[in-house]
Each structure stands twice: as structure tokens, then as C-alpha cells.
Structure 1
Amino acid sequence: MPGLPSLVAPSAEPAADPLTATHATDAVGTVLEQILDERLHHSRAVDPVFAQELADRLAALVERSGKRLRTAFTYCGWRAAGGSGDATAVLRTGAALELLQACALVHDDVMDGSVQRRGAPAMHVQLARRHWAAGMHGSAESFGTSAAVLAGDLALAWADDLLMETALGAPHGRRLYEEWREMRTEMVAGQYRDLHAQAARASGVDEALAIATLKSALYTVARPLALGAALAGADEHVLDALRAAGRCAGLAFQLRDDLLGAFGDPALTGKPADGDLRSRKLTYLLAVALQLADAADDHQAAEALAPDADPGSEYAVQRMRTALERTGARGLVEAKIEELTDLSLGHFDRVNTHPAVRHEFAALVQRATGMSPRRAEEVA
């Protein structure tokens, strides 16, 4: 494809001059820019109002970027499975994942009522403000919500189009598509389980883990690793090892996100630090805290954390934070993150890839989880 950045391995031996996942996360920005230009040009041809008010906003969200971890893990999976040479298909797969992530974020913000995303107003908030500023009839909130759902759908369509185009031109495109198909269904299942848990006021640890696995762990790490490996023609042994490694690392990533959702700095995370607490979202952190409060007969903590309690005020949110600390849940989750990162590295070792690739994976896991694995020195 003309204009794509050069990302070609100098040899099949990564130790000589290793390309890192950082190269991929940088390079995918150029790919995304080209893809978005194409999609926006097509959108303007379809309808200028739709293009200006919806498609342009979606492109701006994608371009604001995030950590682009999914692209990094896709590239790492490709290298782990022996991928080398022209990485164009890997970068295009990464770009498709970034578009799919945009879909997930827009829809998630609607369902959670979140008002901020990546340091800017959430999509439904932007669109509601557009309605109000234009003096249109009807509810601005309803308009914003409905239009944001369409923006998420558009991101999904763009992601699917790009992935299918990539699969059609790849030697192992069918395997790539199969991993993608499974991932999309898992995402929806996880999102539904999340909604179901909130409606049922669930509080179980097992349910919290099931939601975290489906909604985040598989989609963030396990499937991206497998997508990259599929492009390299990996066999089932390699794919199974990478999926297991990704499942553990992805869970650790989600548990870190749970902690940030309760204790994080909005200036660093780009989203409010009390959203999960105010909504009583069932996280592993909350479920463990409730379990510990019950075991210790800590009625004050149990009352503060109860799924049917009304957080309402800032005082109620602070009571929840205090209970999460006092029960020991915060420390237990930190320990669980460390355990999962080490398990992830152990599974990755089963691939028997080059030490440089193992080191790169360890660095990615540390970046995703904020935890330095105990086995990092062995990997390095």
C-alpha cells in the first residue's frame, strides 16, 4: 500500500536488530490516518451532514488515541509466531482493532452514562451539545444518545470492512477472520453480562471475573495476540499458549483499570475517577471488598459497598474508597495483578520464541498492568 511506513524486519533473527511493539504503535497511527481519510472521503460523498456531524467526530475520537495496546499485542503475537518481513497486514489489523475500540468506548459511555473520554466530552455529550446549540426540537439528551449509538455502529462497520479487506489479501486470512469473529461475540457477551450484573445488583467474585474476562481480558490481550499469530500461520499449540498468556495479562489489565476507576487521577486517566463507584459497577475490586467485609463482620464497610446503596454524594463515594482500603481489597487486588502477570509470562514461555520477543512481551505486560513481574529478570 503506498505511503505506509516501512516496518520490515531486517532478518528472521530478532536479536540482531529487533523491532519492538513501540514501532507498531507508532506506525499504526499513520495507517489509521490513511484509513480515516478514505472513510471520511466516502462519508462526505454519501451525505455531508452525516459526515460533518458524526463521521468527523468519530475520526477525531480515534485520532486522539489511547495506549494502542491492542496493536502492540497483535504485533507481539505475530513476532512470537515467527512473523517477519512486511508487517502491513499486522498494522491494518491493529488499525481495525483501534476502530473496534472506538465502537466499544462510544457504546460503553452511553450505557454507563460517562461524560468524559480521552480527556474530552464523551461522544453522546458532544452530540447532545450540538443539538442544544443548533436549537433543534426534542430532547438533546435523547438525540445525543441515539446519535452516539450510530457513531459506535459506524466505527464497527469501518473496523469490519478493514479487517475483511486485510483477511482477503492475507495467506492465512481465514484464521484471522475466525479469531476476529470470536472476539466480537465475546465483547457483546461481556457487555451484556456487565449490564445484567448491574440490573441484578450482583456482587459475586466469580461473576465479576467472568465479566472482566469477556469484556476486557480476551478483547484487550488474548485475541490481539492470537490475531497477530494467525497472520503468521501459527499452529494450535502456539495459539493456545498465546491465548492463555493473553487471558492472564488481560485480566491483570482489567484489575488495574478497576483500581484506577476507584483511585485514579482523572488528569492522567482522561476519565472521572468515581464513575465505577457511583454506578456500583460490579468489579473484582468491589466483589472482593464485599466478601472481605462479610468475612470480617465489618458491617460499616458492607453497608458502604452494598450493591443497593445509593452513592449519591461525594461523601458516599469517599466512604466506598475508605471501605475498599480498610477491608484490604485494594492490596489483595494488587497482589492478584502481580500473580496474573507472572502466570502470563509462564504461558508465553510455552511458545518457545526468541528471548528478544519474550522480553518485549514482558515489557508490554508491565505497561498494561503497571506491575513489574517477579519473573521479568528471567525473561530479560
Structure 2
Amino acid sequence: MPTSRIRKEVDEALFSFVDQRRPLLLGISEDLAALMAALRALLQGGKRLRPAFAYWGWRAADGEPYGDGIVRAAASLEFLQASALIHDDVMDSSDTRRGQPAAHRRFETMATRMGWPGAAAPFGEGAAILLGDLCLAWSAEMFEASGLEEERRAAGRQVYDLMRTEVMCGQYLDLLEGVRAQGTVGRALKVVEYKSAKYTIERPLHLGAALAGADAATMGALTNYGLPLGIAFQLRDDVLGVFGDPDETGKPAGDDLREGKRTALVALTLERAGETAAAELERRLGDPALDEAGVDALRTIITESGGLAACEEMIEKYAGQAHRALNIAPITAEARDALADLAVKATARQS
């Protein structure tokens, strides 16, 4: 199945599920229409990478090439992703997501526009947290309602449960690095592994493979490919968070710097920068008022210190590991070709 077809079918399954749940929410209260609107707006964007990797994990283990069950199970990962993004934006005080206001800003603006007397910002954050919780619940509900046999779902459920635990642990470690403000490359890579790499590529592959009844050798081969690729994917995302085109990333240029994210890119820069440059980066990192000139100054430090080049080398290293593992993986030829194409998409120099 071509990647474009996977995306189309995932979208259809995803929005069909939302439409089926809409009467339930509106039956509780018409006020919940705003919640549904915010969710639909967020779900309109995204690359659908996790469902794609889940589908090709299924095919790698010789699951049948077509079937609504695997599409619905894979699509449920988009609710988990939506939950993670909504909560992450609240924790990072992000203003935008996928080129539009972040969910908590959307609700805050609604409260302000309506002239309600209560505090708008806490309402926005609270409403977003609840929407994220709803998405988390719906991820499990959609998976269980996929139509796949219970035996298959039981095998996949173990992976799904582990994935949810890992991503929340990774998010906590990310918060911890921010408050410590003394990050190392090693600790940054630990965050990368659990907040992104496993959650974005390795576990979705495992989910699809487990649903297809994969053996231990196949699962191990998918780890050897998926984990290093996931690390390369997040390192690329970290670079784009500083140097990316806002039209491509959906976020203002340099937003990761304003949010003070302690990424591997920042840690690599601090290891290599001179004392004055490192102090400047530390002083300005996390300044929400950082303007375009400030972003450019920090980009210069990251580039001239060798931090950017070191990060690019690391991306190439991990991507190379993934490609070598894929070449010898005991999986179907069709899946190998598709996963090679997804590897290029995941680590490309544009978002």
C-alpha cells in the first residue's frame, strides 16, 4: 500500500471515529462543541508517521496488505500523538502548533473574546489538559474498537501500554532537564530515546508487528532499525526547531530557543563553545522575549561552535545504523522498501 494511501485511509478512520463520538459529547452539552472544534483543527495536520510505521511493522511481519482493522488500530496512534502534543504545548507554554494556535491558546482566546469574568489563561490550560486526556482515552478506545481479533489486540496491547508509559517518562525527563538547566549530551539523548525515538518509530513498528504475530527475531530487527532512526528523527527535529522554516515547521523560527529546550543540539554546543559564547547561550536560552536578532545570535553560536556540525554528524551516524539494520532485517521486501523511504522522510533537512 503506498504511503499516500495509508495516510488517506488513516484520515478517514480517524475522522470517522471523531464523527461517531460527536453526538455523545454534544448530548452532554452543546458547550463541548468548542472542544470538538479544537480537536478537529489539530488532527487536520501532521505527517501520520506513527500510523505509517505501525502499518509497515504489520507488513514486515507478513500481515495481509489490506484491512480496515490494522488501519483503525494504526490510526489510534494519532490520538495518542494529539494528547502528547496538547500536553507538551501546555508544559512548554507554546503559542502555536502545526501553524495555528496551540490548544490552550485557542481556549484562552475564546474566553477573552467572550468576555467571561474568569481568568482566561488558567481556563485555557485546564481545557487543553482535559482535551489531551480525552485524546488519550480515545486512543485506547479506537484501538480496542479496531475490529482485529482479541488475540491480536492482546499482543498489541502490551506494546501500546509500554509505549504510553515510556513517552510519559520521557516527557518527565525532558521537564527535569529544563529545570536543572545543566544538561549533558548523554542526558539529552536519554530524553530523545524515551520521549521521541521509541514512541515515534520503534514502538509503532512493534505495535504493527505484534498485531501480525511477529516472532522475536522480527521484533529485534525492527528495534535495530527503528530505535536509531527514531533518534536521528528527533535530532533532525531539534535542528529544525532552531534553523527550520516556519512555513514548514508550523512554529515561529527559533521557538525551541525561546522555550529553553535542553536538546542534544544545545548540549553539543555548550560542550564546544568558548566560555563567553556558552555564557551567552545559557543567559538567553529560555527567554520568551527573544527577538529575531537574538535568535540569529544564538544560531551563530550554535553554528560557529561546531554544535550544529556535531549534531548533523550524529544524525548521519544513527541514520546509517538504521539503514544497515534494515538491509539485513528478516522482513518482507515490500516492507523493507517502504521503511527505507520512510527513513529518508524522517531525517530530511526540511520538516
Q: Deviations over 1:76-129 (max 9, x none)?
A: 111111111442222112211011111111111111111111111111111001
Distance 2:131 2:281 in 1: 35
8 A contact 1:183–1:223 mirrored in 2: yes
Deviation at 1:360, TM superposition (A): 1.1
Match of 2:111 in 1: 131
> What is the correspondence of 1:111-130 to structure 2 with a 5 Å cutoff?
111-130=91-110
Q: Report the aligned-residue RMSD.
A: 1.8
Partners of 2:59 and 2:332 within 8 A in 1: no
Q: 2:340 aligns with which of 339, 345, 362?
A: 362
Is the 1:303–1:309 Cα contact (8 Å) retained in structure 2?
Answer: no
1:84-123 equivalent positions in 2, closer than 5 A: 84-123=64-103
| Correspondence 1:285 to 2:265 | yes
Aligned-partner Cα distance in 1 for 2:21–2:322: 37
> 1:313 — aligned with what?
290
> Which of 110-119 and 303-312 deviates more?
303-312
Is 1:82 the equivalent of 2:58? no
Aligned-residue offset at 1:49 = 1.1
- The answer to whether structure 1 residue 334 and structure 2 residue 312 are counterparts is yes
Corresponding residue number in structure 1 for 2:25 = 43
Pairwise CA distance, 1:308: 7.7
User: How many equivalent pairs are there?
Assistant: 348
Name the amino acid aligned to 1:359: D
Question: Which of 40, 43, 51 is equivalent to 1:59?
Answer: 40
Q: Name which of 273, 280, 299 aligns with 2:275.
A: 299
Shift of 1:307: 6.6
Q: 1:238 aligns with which of 218, 224, 231?
A: 218
* TM-score calculated relative to the size of structure 1: 0.87
TM-score by length of 2: 0.94
Q: Is the 8 A contact 1:70 1:220 kept in 2?
A: yes
CA distance in 1, matches of 2:334, 2:189: 32
Distance 2:216 2:327 in 1: 15
Mean Cα displacement is larger for which, 37-46 or 281-290? 37-46
User: In the TM superposition, what is the alpha-carbon distance from 1:53 to its structure 2 partner?
Assistant: 1.6
Of the structure 1 ranges 204-213 and 160-169, higher mean CA displacement relative to structure 2 is found in 160-169
Q: Report 1:257-268 matches (<5 A).
A: 257-268=237-248
CA contact (8 A) 2:258 2:285 kept: no
After TM superposition, give the deviation of residue 46 of structure 1 in Å: 2.3
Paired with 1:291 and 1:307, the residues of 2 have a C-alpha distance of 16
Q: What do residues 1-27 of structure 1 show as CA deviations (whole Å, max 9, x unaligned)?
A: xxxxxxxxxxxxxxxxxx233321121
Structure 2 counterpart of 1:321, one-letter code? R
Residue 362 of structure 1 aligns to which amino acid in structure 2?
A
Which position in structure 1 is the counterpart of 2:303? 325
Within 1, Cα distance between the matches of 2:226 and 2:141? 25
3-state SS in 1 of match to 2:251: coil
Letter in 2 for 1:91: V
Aligned residues of 2:257 and 2:285 also touching (Cα < 8 A): no
Determine the C-alpha separation between the residues in 1 that align with 2:119 and 2:248: 33
Structure 1 gap ranges (5+): 1-18, 373-380
Return the offset for 1:318. Answer: 2.3
Q: Deviations over 1:144-192 (max 9, x none)?
A: 1111111111111111111123376344211100000000001110111
